[in-house]
């Protein structure tokens, strides 16, 4: 019977277990958004996971929306990531880079030349953004012109190519959590009247073009995608998320991806508070490897795998606080609690200083 410790093959990736490290923004990059040796140590410590999905990495300068997030668009960033992948591989691990563009979830203070952030439509998100020196209200973004979208697709493909140069085993396209590709998918953020707006098929067009280009760049057997069907994060909503994501997931089948990563529910809400959504329909529609993600513990993850609901389970906070989570699960050992005050600050504190099991 399949469980968390059963090996798996996800496309070109051989996983020794089905415990996946979820993508977690940690804001520890150096000047120029360059990955650091401290980041290499952080990921090395967690190399026993079947697969590490890195923190989201902006594909271009305009893709940034938070301070100190490591990019994948300069030679210095690629060189920094090489230290990370070498450390993980030396420890026997596998690691995929999450490709990111935040879209409207940014601010001119974080953009090249103080430009407006871009989005499918000029709709300002509610809330504020941390710019590095303080909190600022979000601004009304600039709607991308139709002729710009082919260049954006090419930028995703180049970032995927650069990830391979940096030594990654694969990439995950971030199309969830209210960022740019998700903004194109949703009726609340996409009011376009061209071929990339209106119907569900049109709103999914950019994502599907990105996926095809990334697969061509690095091979579909090294590509995954993150979706979050009912998240309200970053002021997001949709008129028909069930219909939209059934359509999107069905379109992923011909690509032959390594995996599909579904973030269930909304934020850190407990399972009983999740917005109603039929995830079983996505499982039935998708013919490849499925990762489920959000709020699982050992028992619920085992049940999900044994019940055929997923092929792997992604853990965020548990792997953040327990670099040896695989061994702790094996032994039924107690778990460290996350240091929430140092999620995004503190350098090594709350980052690489979590204790391992003795022996």
Share of the chain above pLDDT 70, in %: 98
Q: Which of 233, 229, 291 is nearest to 259 (CA)?
A: 291
β-bridge partners, 30? 34
Q: Is residue 274's pLDDT more than 80?
A: no
Q: Is residue 288's pLDDT more than 80?
A: yes
Assign 134 a pLDDT band (cuts: 50, 70, 90).
confident
Separation between Cα atoms, residue 281 and residue 249, nearest integer Å: 10
Q: Give the 3-state secondary structure of residue 18.
A: coil
42 catalytically annotated: no
pTM of the model: 0.97
Q: Is residue 273's pLDDT more than 80?
A: no
What are the residue ranges spanned by the domains of the chain? 8-342
Interval 11-37: pLDDT, tens? 999 999 999 999 999 999 999 999 999
**CATH architecture of the domain with residue range 8-342:** Alpha-Beta Barrel (3.20)
Separation between Cα atoms, residue 354 and residue 152, nearest integer Å: 39
Contacts of 328 by beta carbon, 8 Å cutoff, 6+ apart: 322, 334, 335, 357
Per-residue confidence (pLDDT) for residue 267, from 0 to 100: 66
With beta carbons less than 8 A apart as the criterion, state whether 227 and 248 touch: yes
Contacts of 128 by beta carbon, 8 Å cutoff, 6+ apart: 135, 136, 137, 138
Q: Is 132 left (phi over 0), alpha (psi -120 to 50) or beta?
A: left
Interval 187-235: pLDDT, tens? 999 999 999 999 999 999 999 999 999 999 999 999 999 999 999 889 9
Q: Give CA separation, 39 vs 22, 108, 161, in Å.
A: 15, 27, 21
Active-site residue (options: 179, 296, 351, 354):
179
Separation between Cα atoms, residue 271 and residue 263, nearest integer Å: 12
Per-residue confidence (pLDDT) for residue 21, from 0 to 100: 98
Share of the chain above pLDDT 90, in %: 93
Q: Is residue 347's pLDDT more than 80?
A: yes
Rounded average pLDDT over 93-113? 97
Encode 287-304: b = buried (16+ Cβ within 10 Å), e = exposed. ebbbbbbbbbebeebbeb
Q: Which of 3, 95, 87 is nearest to 49 (CA)?
A: 95
Interval 143-170: pLDDT, tens? 999 999 999 999 999 999 999 999 999 9
With beta carbons less than 8 A apart as the criterion, state whether 83 and 44 touch: no
């Amino acid at each position: 019977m399949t469980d968390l410790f059963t090996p798996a093959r996800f496309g070109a990736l051989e996983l020794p277990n089905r415990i996946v490290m979820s993508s977690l923004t940690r804001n520890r990059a150096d000047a120029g958004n360059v990955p650091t040796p401290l980041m290499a140590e952080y990921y090395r410590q967690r190399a026993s996971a079947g697969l590490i999905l890195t923190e989201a990495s902006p594909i271009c300068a305009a893709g940034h929306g938070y301070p100190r997030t490591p990019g994948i668009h300069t030679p210095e960033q690629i060189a920094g990531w090489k230290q990370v992948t070498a450390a993980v591989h030396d420890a026997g691990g596998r690691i995929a880079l999450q490709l990111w563009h935040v879209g409207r979830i940014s601010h001119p203070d974080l953009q090249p030349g103080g430009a407006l952030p871009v989005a499918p439509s000029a709709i300002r998100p509610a809330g504020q953004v941390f710019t590095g020196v303080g909190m600022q209200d979000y601004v009304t973004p600039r709607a991308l012109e139709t002729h710009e979208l082919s260049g954006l697709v090419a930028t995703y493909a180049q970032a995927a190519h650069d990830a391979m140069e940096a030594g990654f085993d694969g990439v995950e396209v971030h199309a969830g959590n209210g960022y740019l590709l998700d903004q194109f998918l949703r009726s609340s953020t996409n009011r376009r009247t061209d071929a990339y707006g209106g119907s569900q098929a049109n709103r999914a067009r950019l994502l599907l073009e990105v996926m095809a280009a990334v697969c061509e760049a690095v091979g579909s057997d090294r590509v995954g995608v993150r979706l979050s069907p009912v998240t309200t994060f970053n002021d997001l909503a949709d008129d028909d998320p069930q219909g939209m994501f059934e359509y999107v997931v069905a379109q992923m089948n011909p690509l032959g991806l390594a995996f599909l990563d579904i973030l269930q529910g909304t934020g850190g809400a407990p399972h009983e508070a999740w917005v109603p959504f039929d995830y079983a329909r996505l499982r039935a529609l998708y013919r490849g490897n499925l990762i489920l993600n959000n709020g699982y513990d050992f028992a619920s993850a085992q049940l999900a795998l044994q019940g055929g609901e997923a092929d792997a389970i992604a853990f965020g906070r548990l792997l953040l606080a327990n670099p040896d989570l695989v061994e702790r699960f094996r032994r039924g050992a107690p778990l460290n609690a996350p240091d929430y005050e140092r999620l995004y600050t503190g350098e090594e504190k709350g980052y690489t200083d979590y204790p391992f099991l003795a022996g």
